[in-house]
Structure 1
Amino acid sequence: MTETAAGLILHTREGVAYRFDPGALCLELLPTGGPEAPGGYEVMRTPADLAAWAGRSRLRVDPALVEVGPGDVERARALRDALWRIASAHARPATDVPAPQPASGPSARSEMSAGGGAGADVEIVNALAAMPSLAPRIEPGGGFGWGGPITGTRVLASVARDAVELFTGPAADRVRECAAHNCRLIFVDTSRPGRRRWCAMEHCGNRHKVRAHRGRA
């Protein structure tokens, strides 16, 4: 698997490369591996892996500037695994997505969160979200940059804060799981009609179209 700042490029077992944009920083961490990852692979093994991911993510941090401590990789994997479970509890298979309706009320949101957002997983997210995160700044030339030390812990704190915003905000009702039966990738449906079904149209969506065409033939 390789990644880009515009989304993830996943190399499948069939050797097909495609672009997958999950729509949120915290969800970009999920395809690095973990118990819920399709194929059961692991990308986050070394400090260099965490620094490289930070550079390819929406954070667009220079990997050479990321100071990764001894425990940061373990914390990254713990955060990712917790986010897998929380996101899976929020997500519905895209095949079950109804027509767009007004946002669910607080009681419905609470029930969904209680299904996979309680206990140790939420504690992991909250503990990291409480730590100092990356500090954005305007560079001398007018561009965007990060101020202060760029540490692995600050990177993970930024990811955790993004997760808090996602799962407690209006977009929580648009967290989806790819509709393909053998794909568990999770994304935020940012489309206006709220009917996105696939991790990527050029991959799972296209394979569905091919199967449907063969079925009609």
Structure 2
Amino acid sequence: MSEKTFEFVAGTKCLDLANTIGGARGQANASEYLNSYQDLLNWGYQAGMLSKKQIVYLELKSKEYKIEANKVLDRARRLREAIYQIFSAIASQKTPSDPDLAVINLELARGLHQSRIISTPSGYIWGWEEPARLDSIIAPAVRSAADLLTSAALSHVRECASPSCSWLFIDESKNHSRRWCSMKTCGNTNKIRRFRSRHFQ
């Protein structure tokens, strides 16, 4: 399994997927985190969407079906961009575009037949068919986007206030005043910038 480590600060998996581009979209500091199908698997495992058993199976399958695996990677990136565009628009109080919503609906239709109702000791939950398919990571990611679009949390979707970051997150702070994707990164950078501005001018 790849050693690449991803950050999960968004509060929901679909926005965490949108955040697999570092920096700010369209700027020089933007960087791609999903450079291979293996990266996508690694993200899915760290996100809790794929088990170790599924990862081992999909790693072997992706080596046998490289072209198909790369097509899944392309689909995941298209879904990621649609998720970003939709929720970035909502965070800015704009209306998402129909083409971006069409990507969500297309992937929902593709993934619906993979979904299952599973019985657990604490009740029934949504689950996914076994064994895993090459595109198994896409169905739960797009389901997460659909759930967020139809939930009360939608009004608390935010985009990082840093000009060098375009990460999205759900603002779950008490007074809904969170501005940064993470205080450890963008929030701390802003604090340092303000300190220098006050003391070194």
Alignment-derived partner of residue 65 in structure 1: 57
Question: Could you report, residue by residue, the CA deviation over 1:115-145 in whole angstroms, capped at 9, with x for unpaired residues?
Answer: 22x3221111111112234557579xxxx99
Alignment-derived partner of residue 25 in structure 2: 36
Counterpart contact for 1:24–1:188, Cα < 8 Å = yes
Matched, 1:88 2:64: no
What amino acid sits opposite 1:54 in the alignment? Answer: G
Secondary structure of the equivalent of 1:3? coil
How far off its partner does 1:146 sit? Answer: 6.1
How far off its partner does 1:2 sit? Answer: 3.9
TM-score, normalised by the number of residues in structure 2: 0.75
What amino acid sits opposite 2:78 in the alignment? Answer: A
Q: How many residues align?
A: 179
Counterpart contact for 2:114–2:128, Cα < 8 Å = no
Give the 3 Å change call, closer, same or farther, for CA 134–153 of structure 1 in structure 2. farther
- Whichever structure has more helix as a proportion of its residues is 2
Give the 3 Å change call, closer, same or farther, for CA 134–64 of structure 1 in structure 2. farther
Secondary structure of the equivalent of 1:153? coil
Secondary structure of the equivalent of 1:197? coil
Counterpart contact for 1:51–1:152, Cα < 8 Å = no
Alignment-derived partner of residue 40 in structure 2: 50
Structure 2 CA distance for aligned equivalents of residues 174 and 31 of structure 1:
17
Alignment-derived partner of residue 107 in structure 1: none
Q: Give the fraction of aligned pairs with identical amino acids, expressed as a percent.
A: 30
Structure 2 CA distance for aligned equivalents of residues 37 and 166 of structure 1:
25
Matched, 1:187 2:169: yes
Structure 2 CA distance for aligned equivalents of residues 182 and 203 of structure 1:
11
Structure 1 CA distance for aligned equivalents of residues 171 and 9 of structure 2:
10
What amino acid sits opposite 2:19 in the alignment? Answer: P
Structure 2 CA distance for aligned equivalents of residues 152 and 208 of structure 1:
41
Alignment-derived partner of residue 10 in structure 2: 22
Structure 1 CA distance for aligned equivalents of residues 12 and 41 of structure 2:
18
How is 1:96-135 mapped onto 2 (pairs within 5 angstroms)? 112=94, 115-116=95-96, 118-130=97-109, 131=111, 132-133=113-114, 135=116
Deviates more, 1:72-81 or 1:150-159: 150-159
Counterpart contact for 2:114–2:129, Cα < 8 Å = no
Counterpart contact for 1:134–1:155, Cα < 8 Å = no
Give the 3 Å change call, closer, same or farther, for CA 32–134 of structure 1 in structure 2. farther
Counterpart contact for 2:50–2:137, Cα < 8 Å = no
